[in-house]
Structure 1
């Protein structure tokens, strides 16, 4: 069956969009390499009706429900090249498959770019975390750190006080008087000696190593992870990118169409969000793609 739509990325946004299109009885092919952004996290929280479910289980259930629709095909492969023009789209996979369709939806997500500190990446998803709304409750209070260095870090520090006793490691970031006052009111401690590494093999806490040799025990260290595109397809296609405080995002209109004809995008690649927001973006994209298909089908 020749698909109307190719969806690259079979995580939350991609599956949500596929479900909308499948329910519109449109043939859809999902291309996915099995590397969701949250693969390092053991559980997913804040998802309505699914709070605490393992991310792998959530995706497996969603994928199976999508594949129950006969118009859906799943291709387990990495999309390595894409082309698009007014006549349609084409995607080549790493194993040599060439797939064509009328529309392409990029639900490829982002790659988190962690600060370059020894020990940080090894603990990503366990004691080194990004989103307090996703993981803060499970940390369980106590001493938690927030790594500075990003321009928005100081302004966000007072938020973290709802999840523990916060130390803000400024990493040389200039802190305004207003930011300093807000942190003081919220009980946030400021540490201006730079962090040079994180240490410890424990599963529920770590030690932050400072430039002067001190080590500070923390239940968790939250870090500002900048976002980069998780796939070269965005640049290959020439999609316009927009700068955000956390990195680049694909620029889309209200119907989730990119600057390139027949190419749409949704999920973390288009908005700074979480699982729920990614799914919502996927729904919007699915509706937008369906409207475009119907508009074309209605031409005399």
Structure 2
């Protein structure tokens, strides 16, 4: 019987686990090895780790965690979870069953990219979602924003801080006069011809045959929990402008007593820095729930 089973061993899950093992609690991390930023070569905006390969940040954090004797780490996928506070069971894909007093879902989210040919291959390389993570390295060049819905207008309004922006509506949004005026005030060009495909490093081929070249492209994909287990277990979900996430209270507890969630799956907006902070807070709150279980 572990004190806490952490489902998801990326930045948020590890940050939570660090608080708990330093309180000498028994922690078992189960990680499926699907970090959301695995496509990116560099992580930016994370204090002390700016420009570092995110895989290196992850590997360093895991090594530091595994120095604590109360941590166990299993590489695998959780397929089911059940039980109640102080008596949870987690089933892995290989049939193993783990027991824990608390559960923490740090499973992250899956990005649902718009159906533009060539986008998936460039995701994290020349197509991004966060300007704070990737905007500076574009050196104020030409930037494309590919719309996915109304939230993309805000993205297009923000990105002129990092370069010269062209906003591609791509049939996914109709701009009213107010939206057009707000974009014009930010010197954003509007392109309403549909996109045929992405090509080269950051080229957009339009259906009329034109090819427009950029130093980088941004889009706002809808997100959903990467694992179906929290929903199947009964955790309440909520809709945000960025997609679906697990609903939690200020202590990071879900709608189920004893079940917590943190990181991208339980907060918006998303970044490594915010995930680490959210995970650290969740770890502290989990520890408090073990010390004072009736509070």
Match of 2:250 among 250, 254, 274: 254
Does residue 118 in structure 1 map to residue 117 in structure 2?
A: yes
Tell me which moved more, 8-17 or 208-217: 208-217
Tell me if structure 2 keeps the 8 A contact 1:7–1:105.
yes
The number of residues matched between the two structures is: 293
Cα offset, 1:156, TM superposition: 2.7
After TM superposition, the score normalised by the length of structure 1 is 0.94
Aligned 1:214-253 pairs, distance under 5 A: 214-253=210-249
Does residue 268 in structure 1 map to residue 250 in structure 2?
A: no
Match of 1:277 in 2: 274
Q: Deviations over 1:136-195 (max 9, x none)?
A: 111222211001131111233121111111100012312233332232232211001111
Distance in 1, matches of 2:162 and 2:103, equals 41
Aligned 1:57-68 pairs, distance under 5 A: 57-68=56-67
Match of 1:193 in 2: 193
Cα offset, 1:27, TM superposition: 0.6
Match of 1:174 in 2: 174
Distance in 1, matches of 2:3 and 2:85, equals 14
Distance in 2, matches of 1:283 and 1:126, equals 29
Q: Deviations over 1:216-244 (max 9, x none)?
A: 11111111111011011112211000110
Tell me if structure 2 keeps the 8 A contact 1:155–1:179.
no
SS at match of 1:268: helix
Match of 1:293 in 2: 290
Aligned 1:9-20 pairs, distance under 5 A: 9-20=8-19
Does residue 104 in structure 1 map to residue 103 in structure 2?
A: yes
Distance in 1, matches of 2:134 and 2:58, equals 19
Structure 2 residue ranges without an equivalent (≥5): none
Q: Deviations over 1:228-262 (max 9, x none)?
A: 11011112211000110111110001111101121
Tell me if structure 2 keeps the 8 A contact 1:158–1:188.
yes
Tell me which moved more, 171-180 or 281-290: 171-180
Cα offset, 1:81, TM superposition: 1.2
Match of 2:22 in 1: 23
Match of 1:82 in 2: 81
Tell me if structure 2 keeps the 8 A contact 1:84–1:261.
no
Distance in 2, matches of 1:246 and 1:46, equals 20
Could you list the structure 1 runs, at least 4 aligned residues long, displaced by more than 4 angstroms after superposition: none
Match of 2:70 in 1: 71
> How large is the Cα RMSD of the aligned pairs?
1.4
Does residue 158 in structure 1 map to residue 157 in structure 2?
A: yes
Distance in 1, matches of 2:6 and 2:115, equals 33
Does residue 36 in structure 1 map to residue 30 in structure 2?
A: no
After TM superposition, the score normalised by the length of structure 2 is 0.96
Distance in 1, matches of 2:108 and 2:26, equals 23
Cα offset, 1:87, TM superposition: 4.2
SS at match of 1:253: coil
Distance in 2, matches of 1:291 and 1:37, equals 29
Tell me if structure 2 keeps the 8 A contact 1:111–1:227.
yes
Tell me which moved more, 251-260 or 75-84: 75-84
